[in-house]
Amino acid sequence: MRSSLRWPPSLIAKWFFLLVLFVGVVSTSLLCTSDACASELHRTSGVLGEGTSWSIPWYSIESDEDGPTVLVTGGMHGNEPAGSAAAGQIRHWNIARGKLVVIPSLNRLGLDAEMRWFPVHRNDRSLRDLNRNFPKLENLQPRTLLCETVWEFVESERPDFVFDLHEGFDFPTSNSKSVGSSVIFSPSDEQHHLAQKMLDAVNETVDDDTRRFVPLSRNGAAQGSLVRACADVLGVRSFILETTFKEQPLSFRTFQHRVMVSTALKEIGLLDSDSTDRMTSSLEHHRLSVGLFDAAGTTAKGLKNVSQSFDSEEFELVRIGPHDLSASTLSQFDVLIFPGGSGSRQGRAIGSDGREAIRKFVKDGGGVIGICAGAYLCSAHYDWSLHIINTSVFNETIEIPGVGRKSMWYRGGPSDVEMELTSEGEEIFSQSNRLDVRYQNGPIMDVGPDDHLPEWTPLAWFRSEVVRYEPQEGTMIDSPAIIAAPFGNGRVMCISPHPEATPGLENIITEAVKWSAQRDGSHTASEPDSQLEEASTSPAQE
């Protein structure tokens, strides 16, 4: 299965490069005992361009069963996050044979800056697009040190197949200027067969015909792109896989990338079974796996604020959507977060099967955090809510003379309110007990109707309030701002305001995750939670 390679002219340079390349490489092996992978897997990782500002991590999984070598890359363009996210998940897959090499974030600096270009050369039109500076048949020398380093690595790995994951800005069925939702490859019978398999599988995820994936093979990948270089210079079967970022959540586009790559790897023989559902690592127990719901009823700003709170190696933050709510997928997470936006839209997008799956996830020991809209979602108040904590919310529709019928959840735009932590809250969040916090129509919570649910504990109270309509006066002040309760073996925390959008309070979300995951050091999953069992739920009692 090996392709012929053109070795660089100087073997000395090559060996020197390999010596530099493999300094600091981390290697682990594991015996995979499931039927799906009876062979031993060797996991290795390292860094390309170590010591540079743009250094790039890579990961490899090698089976002791012979098979082809596959390279999966993502994040070449920094404004196309789904390819990078998917590659970062694919690196956790257990292969049955061969070798899987993954570079999830080729343009790590661009991804951080959400910029298409390579920031180091952002002002040089000829160098700023990494995917135009790999070797061309008429000029085999890669341009930019990054492309040269990546190319040397690709040559040393000798892949049989390459999949480079990208995103387009629109659907090609309605906008011919975009290559979104497509598989791009150079025409040949074998490539066409594999492309068609990926297209058939990913189009199963598409309900709307205008969003169907299409093959783009007439011109192949652009000159100077990694995929074109692999095809032309190394003779490797190479594909660009494109999703579309217009109007689709990141979790869905990432899912579509996983569908395409899993389908291809099964066809090639690296996988024996579908691995689309595999999103996190079961190896890295020192990290907490956090699923952040990003589909209907969420906002880009809210998601960004929550994500920024998790800028730490302690956490593996993964976007999830309604298609990720199977038991096997949820079992890979310690905690799920439902952020601000619209609780009813989130609840309806999740659907009754999804709600049941989330309830089971918590019963089995998982954690759920609801922030603002997410706290409405967790409540026991609505037919679309999760009923995992016994809250009702103040949300009547009231006829106001001279104003009309108004729903009481709405109190206007964002504003700052005063919040006081309880002693339990101070202990969990390590914050001083009186804080100003951003608030935007979060639930005014009270004891709900499901008395079979455990009692909840207030962790913070509102000490000021926001009022838009007269009947709201006095309903928010001294009501609970943050509450927590057990549910089965798991834990639920509802946060009405937005600490993640309040400078200095971001750690409230990360501490909430540790508490919900029962990794806060004070409890273990098997111990009864005396702190919560003894708690009072009356807002009047502090």
Tokens coding 344: 């009813």
Give me the least distance between CB of 112 and Zn ion, in Å please. 16
Query: How far apart are the C-alpha atoms of 60 and 416, rounded to whole Å?
Result: 48
Q: Name the residue nearer to Zn ion (CB basis): 82 or 264.
A: 82
User: In the range 438-467, which residues lie near Zn ion by CB under 5 A?
Assistant: none
Query: How far apart are the C-alpha atoms of 28 and 43, rounded to whole Å?
Result: 5
Give me the least distance between CB of 64 and Zn ion, in Å please. 35
Do 459 and 364 meet the contact criterion of CB atoms below 8 Å apart? no
Do 62 and 91 meet the contact criterion of CB atoms below 8 Å apart? no
User: In the range 228-287, which residues lie near Zn ion by CB under 5 A?
Assistant: none
SS3 call for 19: helix
Give me the least distance between CB of 162 and Zn ion, in Å please. 15
Give me the least distance between CB of 80 and Zn ion, in Å please. 5
Give me the least distance between CB of 181 and Zn ion, in Å please. 13
Q: Name the residue nearer to Zn ion (CB basis): 242 or 420.
A: 242
User: In the range 166-205, which residues lie near Zn ion by CB under 5 A?
Assistant: 166
Paired with 71 in beta bridges are 101, 162
Q: Name the residue nearer to Zn ion (CB basis): 226 or 513.
A: 226
How many residues form the binding site for Zn ion (CB under 5 A)?
Answer: 3
Contact letters for Zn ion, residues 35-74 (x by CB under 5 A): ----------------------------------------
Give me the least distance between CB of 216 and Zn ion, in Å please. 13
Q: Name the residue nearer to Zn ion (CB basis): 76 or 371.
A: 76
CA neighbor of 84 nearest in space, from 257, 281, 205 = 257
User: In the range 72-111, which residues lie near Zn ion by CB under 5 A?
Assistant: 77, 80
Give me the least distance between CB of 179 and Zn ion, in Å please. 8
SS (H, E, C) 279-327: CCCCCCCCCEEEEEECCCCECHHHHHHHHHCCCCCCEEEEEECHHHCCH
Q: Name the residue nearer to Zn ion (CB basis): 116 or 158.
A: 116
Give me the least distance between CB of 76 and Zn ion, in Å please. 6
Tokens coding 419: 């919040």
What one-character-per-residue DSSP string does 127-176 give?
Answer: TS-GGG-S-BTTB-S-SSHHHHHHHHHHHHH--SEEEEEEEESS-TTT-T
**Any idea which residue has 């298409």 for tokens?**
116
* Residue least distant from Zn ion (Cβ): 166
Query: How far apart are the C-alpha atoms of 83 and 81, rounded to whole Å?
Result: 6
Query: How far apart are the C-alpha atoms of 211 and 533, rounded to whole Å?
Result: 50
Most distant pair of Cα atoms in the chain: their distance: 87
CA neighbor of 302 nearest in space, from 460, 419, 442 = 442
Query: How far apart are the C-alpha atoms of 130 and 144, rounded to whole Å?
Result: 8
Give me the least distance between CB of 365 and Zn ion, in Å please. 40
Q: Name the residue nearer to Zn ion (CB basis): 169 or 394.
A: 169
Do 323 and 252 meet the contact criterion of CB atoms below 8 Å apart? yes
SS3 call for 492: strand
Query: How far apart are the C-alpha atoms of 201 and 55, rounded to whole Å?
Result: 34
Task: Give yes or no for residue 387 binding Zn ion (CB under 5 A).
Answer: no
Q: Name the residue nearer to Zn ion (CB basis): 242 or 294.
A: 242
Give me the least distance between CB of 367 and Zn ion, in Å please. 36
Q: Name the residue nearer to Zn ion (CB basis): 80 or 152.
A: 80
Query: How far apart are the C-alpha atoms of 490 and 367, rounded to whole Å?
Result: 6
Q: Name the residue nearer to Zn ion (CB basis): 227 or 349.
A: 227
Q: How far are the Cα atoms of 219, 389, 393, 455 from residue 496, in angstroms, in the given order?
A: 53, 14, 11, 18
Q: Name the residue nearer to Zn ion (CB basis): 77 or 411.
A: 77
Contact letters for Zn ion, residues 133-172 (x by CB under 5 A): ---------------------------------x------
Do 489 and 363 meet the contact criterion of CB atoms below 8 Å apart? yes
Give me the least distance between CB of 169 and Zn ion, in Å please. 10
Q: Name the residue nearer to Zn ion (CB basis): 80 or 500.
A: 80
Where along the sequence are the contacts to Zn ion (CB under 5 A)?
Answer: 77, 80, 166
